[in-house]
Amino acid sequence: MPHAAWTELEAVARRDADARILDQFAADPDRLSRMTLDAAGLHLDLSKQSWTRAGLNAALALARAADVEGRRAALFGGEPINSTEGRAVLHPALRAPDGADFHALGDAVSAEVEAVRDQMRDYAHAVRSSIETGATGRPFETVVHIGIGGSDLGPRLIWDALRPLDPAIDVRFVANVDPRDMAEALTGLDPASTLVVVVSKTFTTQETLANAEATKAWLAAALPAEGMNRHLIGVTAAPEKAAVFGCGRTFAFRDWVGGRYSLWSAVSLSCVIGLGWDVFQGFLDGAAALDRHFLEAPLEANAPVLLALAQIYNVDGLHRPSRTVAPYAHGLRRLPAFLQQLEMESNGKRVRRDGAPVGRQTCPVVFGEPGTNGQHAFFQQIHQGPQVVPAEFVIVASTLDDKSESPLWSNALAQGQALMQGKTEAQAHAELIASGASEAEADRLAPHKTFPGDRPSTAIVMDRLTPQALGALIALYEHKTFVEGVIWDINSFDQWGVELGKVLAKAVLKDVAAGAPSPDLDPSTAALLTRLLG
């Protein structure tokens, strides 16, 4: 562990806590140019972060001491950086151009990636051109995508961001085991023109299989048995289980593709069908461009590295355990939910790679809503609450038909300015007097209209929400998450924390089947189960 670098960062952060962000622009004339950069079509501005020049330098020294560059090479080299499961982590291979030469634990994988991409492209074209039809010969008009977690959040984000207003083939998503979710997805659909894509790495995920069984029954009630399997597609690393389930065709991905990093693979087949291959290829190209930037740019000009260091500086240096992400684009409304899984499932860990306690805060709580919606909800807290919540504004200059959306993005600029600048009680008092308030009324209201300011934010700007820009944005956050895990010395690629609840849920379902709680249940859970059993 780079103890000296951590000690230096914490010492500088204690000094930076008294240095107001706004004052740093005058104290450091090069601040803006050093803390803004462009990468793969994205523009990042980290100049409103809380660090001084010394703080940024200390953060960069920490990254070097943690060997971010060496670990980055291990990631792209296909080494077993998922140490608890002995796996490589090679989502960059999924978006690399044809002719790449990625290896997972020494085995070449790029040819296999290209073969699956060809299969996806050909099948999507067949569906979109009505060559591939259903059991009755009807072309497919709707895809129902069934998955959960990484098998849902990524494709759902892609579809929301890139879908046409009136798609030729619609895509609907089902994740929750609550039957209401499935009922809403199937309402108004004709089984004869509906294609169901079941996405599960192991094809054993409880929620996904329950929803898949319900959909299969819905299809079977309306379609002839012969040809019904054409309506069921499996995307899995266990194709034999998908075949037993009744899938007429399967698309594979490997165990070096983690769920929350799998949207670059056949997991997004539904989106490829709905959007067309050229759109998805642009998405892959944008991510590959960000991969090249991450590999080649020096740390001090490396977008994922700087974004990660800003978070670590806030979390560990200044003890700010949460962060909000506000995408100022309706198409990115699912981005906060996607990042909750990407970051909190990856880095919500309490032990280092060697099993010893981390001894410091790791991943913050990530939350958000699209702007300007969030401004009328939780922004009150981030402006005037006692705790400091760093903010991230994702800004799209044009969200529809190449028209500038200045009423939208001007709000993002104003929010970042207000968080940094604030308003003193004296300023609030003077404004009240100028508006005609009495001295007594101004004295009473001024404290309520005071904003402390000095609250950090980062802006990520794109001209338009193109497939390339979306791919670059998601890859940016993936590599940011990886860099943070390297510096915290944790494994960002396992997720044991989701397992215990799943195991216990199976035990509770046995008690439900028995009609009574088992003797080994704790009193609270037993009482709740008894109540729900009626």
The residue written with tokens 């634990």 in the block is 105
Pick the closest to residue 463 from 390, 399, 376 (CA basis).
Answer: 399
The active-site residue out of 213, 376, 439, 499 is 376
Structure tokens at 340: 């909750």
DSSP E strand stretches across 206-278:
232-236, 249-252
Alpha carbons 370 and 368: distance in angstroms, whole number:
7
Q: Using an 8 Å Cβ cutoff, are 479 and 290 in contact? A: yes
Is residue 345 annotated as part of the catalytic site, yes or no? yes
Q: Helices 303-312 and 53-65, interaxial angle, to 10°?
A: 110
Identify whether 530 is preceded by a cis peptide bond (ω within 30 of 0).
no
349 catalytically annotated: no
Q: Which two tokens stand for residue 71?
A: 């670990």
Q: Which residue has the tokens 């971010």?
A: 68
Please, what's the b/e burial string for 217-240 (b: 16 or more CB within 10 A of its CB; e: otherwise)? ebbeeebeeeebbbbbbbbbbbbe
What's the token pair of residue 85?
């499961």
Q: Which of 135, 116, 148, 99 is nearest to 288 (CA)?
A: 99
Q: For tokens 């029954």, what's the residue?
A: 217
* Pairwise CA distance, residues 48 & 50, whole Å: 7
Rounded distance, CA 424 to CA 418, Å? 12
d(CA 255, CA 472): 24
Q: For the chain, percent helix, then strand, then coil, each to nearest 5?
A: 55, 15, 30
Q: Give dist(CA 21, CA 16) in Å, integer.
A: 9
Residue of 345, 369, 478, 484 marked active site: 345
Instruction: Name the token pair of 444.
Output: 């009473």
Active site residue 213: no
3-state secondary structure of 134: coil
State phi, psi for 382 to the nearest 5 degrees: -75, -20
Cα(315)–Cα(236) distance, integer angstroms: 37
Phi then psi for residue 413, to 5 deg, are -60, -40
**Enzyme catalytic residues:** 345, 376, 502
